[in-house]
Amino acid sequence: MAQKLHAYDDRTPLNLTEEEKQAILQMIQEINTSLTLLDQRITNGAQNSDVSTCIGLLEHRLPDLSKITGYDGILAKQVEERHAKVRKLNCRIRELEEQRGKEINATATTSALQRYEDTLRTWHEACGFRYANIQCKLSGLRVKFNSKLRHERKRRLSRNDEMFARFVKMTPFLPELTDWDIIKNDYSSELADTDENRQNLIRLFTEEFPNVRINRFEARKNDCGSFLLGIDVYIPYEDIERLQKKALEM
C-alpha cells in the first residue's frame, strides 16, 4: 500500500538572511549533484560504493537543510538524534583515550622510577653496602647509606641477576679493600668514621656518578664506642642511566 503524502498549507514566509539563502542554495546544489551522479550510476550499473557516497551526502545535508529552514520532520529528527548519539560516543571515546593516555604515562613513569631504584640497589649491593634508604625525587634519587657492609658479595634485594653480575665485574667490593677503614667482627662489617673513608666515599660516588651531590656525612657512635660513617647523596637520573648503559656495554 502506497504511503499517502500530506501537504501542509503553511504560508508563513521564511525569514532568511542572505547568508542563510546562500547556504541553502549551496546545499541544494550539492544534493542535486549527488542525485544526478546516482542517476548516472544506476543507469550505467551502480556499485555499493556509489550508493554509499551519494546517499551518505544526502544524509549529511538533509539535517542541515531541515535545520536552517525550520523543518522538523520525522526523518530530520531521527538523523539529528543519531548524530547526537554519534557526537556523544565520540566525546566518550576521546575521554577514554585521554584517560588511557594518562594511565599509560603514569604506568611508564612508575616503571622508569622502579627501574632506576632497582639499578641503584643492584649497584650498592655489588659494592657491599648493606642498607640504603632510597627516595624518588623530581630529577633523581636521594639515597642514605648507613655504615653497615655485607660480609659476602651476594644479591639479596636487587631483582636482576644479570645486572648484578655485571656490576660485580665493574665495581669494588668495599669490605675487601685495604685502603678503607673497616671495623669487622663476627657478625658485621662497618665503615669507620675517618677522614680516609670520607675521601674514599667521595671518590667512589663522584667517579661512578659525575653529577652526584653529597648532601652530608652521617656519623654515629656504636655500643663499643667506635664512630661509624654513613653518607647522604642525591644522584640524578641521568647518572643512573649512564651507569645502566655502562654495565650493559660490558
Mean pLDDT calculated for residue range 142-169: 84
| Last residue in a domain, options 74, 95, 116 | 95
Name the residue range of residue 54's domain.
18-95
DSSP helix/strand/coil, 59:
helix
Predicted confidence (pLDDT) per residue in 207-221, tens digit = 999 999 999 999 888
Number of domains in the chain: 2
Predicted confidence (pLDDT) per residue in 79-98, tens digit = 667 767 767 766 766 776 66
pLDDT at 200: 92
Mean pLDDT calculated for residue range 190-194: 93
| Same domain for 225 and 140 | yes
| Same domain for 220 and 143 | yes
In Å, how far are 48, 148, 178, 212, 250 from 130, measured between CA atoms? Answer: 73, 6, 19, 20, 25
* pTM (two decimals): 0.57
| Same domain for 170 and 140 | yes
Alpha helices in the chain (DSSP H): 18-44, 48-69, 74-127, 161-170, 195-208, 237-248
Decide which of 90 and 2 is more confident: 90
pLDDT at 153: 81
Predicted confidence (pLDDT) per residue in 115-153, tens digit = 899 999 999 999 999 889 999 888 899 999 999 998 888
What one-character DSSP code corresponds to residue 129? B
pLDDT at 75: 61
Where residue 5 falls among pLDDT bands split at 50, 70, 90?
Answer: very low
| Same domain for 138 and 80 | no
- Quote the mean pLDDT of the chain: 81
| Same domain for 134 and 214 | yes
pLDDT at 86: 67
Give long-range contacts, CB 8 A cutoff, 24+ apart: 184-188.
Answer: 188/130, 188/148, 188/149, 188/151
Q: What percent of the chain has pLDDT over 90?
A: 29
Beta partners for residue 184, in sequence order = 189
Predicted confidence (pLDDT) per residue in 8-60, tens digit = 566 777 788 888 888 888 888 878 877 887 888 788 887 777 777 777 777 77
